[in-house]
Structure 1
Amino acid sequence: MKANLEDIAKAAGVSKMTVSRVLRGGTGFSDDTRDRVVKVAERLGYVPNKLAAAFGSYQASTLVGMCVPRLTSGLFAHVLDGVDRALSRLGYQLMIGANNHSTAEEEAWVRQIASWRPAGLILSGRNHSTATVDLLRQVAVPVVEIWDLTTSPIDMSVGFSHYDCGVEMGQFLLRRGRRRAGYVGALARADVMGQARLEGFQAVLAQAGAPLVDREVLLDMPGFYAGYYGLETLLARTPDLDVVYFHNDDMAVGGLAYAQAKGIRVPEDLGIAGWGGMEAASILPKRLTTTVVPTTAIGKAAAEALVARLKGEAGQEVTVVPTRLVPGETG
């Protein structure tokens, strides 16, 4: 038979609650009590019941739910890693879901995860259905909105402005002398954050008197091949562009492959810029012009903000994690 908290309490001569607090790393007892409980637990071969911990049979929930746009996103893999590492270090477990850029799917996920009584929730983006917001208020757990910064969060926000990313890239390319810009994107009518970058990019070009000439926004998922045929389609329609801004780095690398296949010199004939800061972009023959997003730092900051709130510690509602434009050699 496996030892339980009651067995340890009897053997150590303390209460079951004291054993629970000791094994959770809590406070309110002496060093001697902690050492005695730990030694008894080791001697009895105690294995923590994570399921019981998560669902509150002897302590508050240790589950944290996190909903991301896509489980296949390379950028969000790093965000998840940052969240998971920080939560594990602080004694919490992560439950992951995806909303596929749909507020309706996010709403369904929040309803489902709420039945598991999570300690807190981490949501990607700032656009949610009214029903989701109402449900979050009913659940009354800490909520961190990440990735797309909002200054009026449901509870807390950690991220950056996608609109500002587009503005910054537009300003940079204008300084490089680009005046006939195009755009290749993906997830049309679904990815509001990609749309925000495009809107920022368009706004700064228009202000400079060099409005966006043409764009190709695909219904497809962003990826290498989508970037390849997206650029092919765009240039077939508007061949005299001097730069193309892509939805993300994956698509930009696909665009570079198309340019190479067709003998288009980059950046002499056509500038190419991406977004996201994928690792491969830094080791290309010509470093990609892009915006680097501190993905792991965002995940870590979100997890720490949530746990601080769970511990009753005061913290800031809005945390800005700045991005960084990399000039590269392709823009």
Structure 2
Amino acid sequence: MSEPKLQNKNNKISLAEVAKAAGVSKMTASRVLRDEGGFSEKTRAKVMAEVERLGYFPNRLATVFAGDKKSTFIGVSIPDLGNEVFTHVLEGIDRKLASFNHQTVLGMTQHVQSEEENWIETVLSWQPAGLILTGRAHSPRAIQILKGANVPLVEIWDLNSSPVDMCVGLNHFDSGYDMGRFLLTKGYTRFGYVGTSHDAANAATSRLNGYAKAIQDGGGKLTRQLCLNDIPGFYPGFYGTEQLLSSDPHVEVSLYQNENMAVGAVHFCQAQQISIPGDIGIAGWGELPIASVLPYRLTTVHVNHLRIGQLAAEKLLLKVNGDSATPVSDVGFQLVPGDTV
């Protein structure tokens, strides 16, 4: 009898084809792949040899839907991959989940609640073991869906004292307030801010609000704030600084939405021979690796992005396994004085 021909790699091999090639029933082949017992070692060897030869990949999603196995999928939503902050958080999540044989199903919501709501509906239809969502603001319908889904959930990034289920994050308002208060102690009175467009529920908005409140409380003045229609990266920090100083050349110090933007500001000032901090002070946020290329230390706020992701995954896995987990975890932040203010 001739052997079944290897199919083109673009054609999916079925379990029935594997069973036929091995000379066993489809049920027996399924039991071998699930290691359920009830078959001989010789049968197992024949089935596995055909799995290898034919290049068969089990449909694990179908197995979950059939109720034969617990899901290993974890849905994780982040705003976007263009912001390096979230790639570090995602790395922490994925490392921890992978070490316990769970897979990340990634979604990007662009800080748009309707996008998040649609993604939640889609990923829940795949019966995930749990969800990790970035941010604390969700549409009313999304909250209703999440509460009815009966799956473990961790909200990350922006600390929430009353989460839907669990939360891991930091107080962004306080981090902005502490930076503003610190800059006031350096004698600055005219302040600027450069960031990107974001809605009122965004963590960056909380930081800006904290920064502005500290300046107001300390008798200073936030004379110019720019929210650019761009991603918070190096180049927007570069041209944003040009716009800032063109619109208000008397700004004495400016906070930037993140480290990448602050480094862009430093390079603009160097190109224009603007002294730092003599002519203008520059402060960043997040302490990202890009700052290591500067010849001096940037004044910033340190946040352990990797730890946020790891802790979120740890808490979720505890719940997935039926254990309890602390509802709210504050990872905190640390103001790091540098040479740029």
| TM-score in terms of structure 1 length | 0.86
Distance 1:180 1:92, change over 3 A: same
Asked if 1 retains the 8 angstrom alpha-carbon contact of 2:137 and 2:201, the reply is no
What is the distance in 2 between the residues matched to 1:167 and 1:89?
A: 37
Structure 2 equivalent of residue 115 of structure 1: 125
Structure 1 equivalent of residue 214 of structure 2: 204
3-state DSSP class of the match of 2:38? helix
Q: Which of 308, 314, 324 pairs up with 1:298? A: 308
Measured after TM superposition, the shift of residue 42 of structure 1 is 8.7
Measured after TM superposition, the shift of residue 53 of structure 1 is 5.1
Structure 1 equivalent of residue 296 of structure 2: 286
Asked if 1 retains the 8 angstrom alpha-carbon contact of 2:283 and 2:299, the reply is yes
Written as runs of structure 1 = structure 2, the 5 A alignment for 1:220-231 is 220-231=230-241
Written as runs of structure 1 = structure 2, the 5 A alignment for 1:240-251 is 240-251=250-261
Q: Does 1:104 align with 2:114?
A: yes
Asked if 2 retains the 8 angstrom alpha-carbon contact of 1:121 and 1:144, the reply is yes
What is the distance in 2 between the residues matched to 1:243 and 1:41?
A: 70
Deviations 1:224-262 (A, max 9, x none): 121111111111121111101011111111111111111
Written as runs of structure 1 = structure 2, the 5 A alignment for 1:1-331 is 1=18, 4=29, 6-7=31-32, 8=35, 9-11=37-39, 45=48, 50-52=60-62, 54-55=64-65, 57-189=67-199, 192-331=202-341
Structure 2: segments with no counterpart, 5+ residues:
1-17, 20-27, 52-56
3-state DSSP class of the match of 1:169? helix
What is the distance in 2 between the residues matched to 1:186 and 1:42?
A: 59
Larger radius of gyration: 2
Amino acid at match of 1:159: G
Structure 2 equivalent of residue 18 of structure 1: none
Measured after TM superposition, the shift of residue 51 of structure 1 is 3.4
Deviations 1:203-225 (A, max 9, x none): 01110111212211212221212
Amino acid at match of 1:127: A
| TM-score in terms of structure 2 length | 0.84
What is the distance in 1 between the residues matched to 2:87 and 2:319?
A: 24
What is the distance in 1 between the residues matched to 2:90 and 2:261?
A: 22
Large movers: runs of 4+ above 3 Å: 1-5, 40-57, 188-191
Asked if 2 retains the 8 angstrom alpha-carbon contact of 1:188 and 1:218, the reply is no
Asked if 1 retains the 8 angstrom alpha-carbon contact of 2:136 and 2:163, the reply is yes
3-state DSSP class of the match of 1:212? strand
Distance 1:42 1:154, change over 3 A: farther
Measured after TM superposition, the shift of residue 4 of structure 1 is 4.7
What is the distance in 2 between the residues matched to 1:137 and 1:218?
A: 35
Measured after TM superposition, the shift of residue 283 of structure 1 is 3.5
% identical equivalent positions: 41
Aligned pair count? Answer: 306
Deviations 1:301-323 (A, max 9, x none): 00110110111111110011122
3-state DSSP class of the match of 1:182? strand
3-state DSSP class of the match of 1:71? coil
Distance 1:56 1:317, change over 3 A: farther
* RMSD of aligned residue pairs (Cα, Å): 2.2
Distance 1:41 1:86, change over 3 A: farther
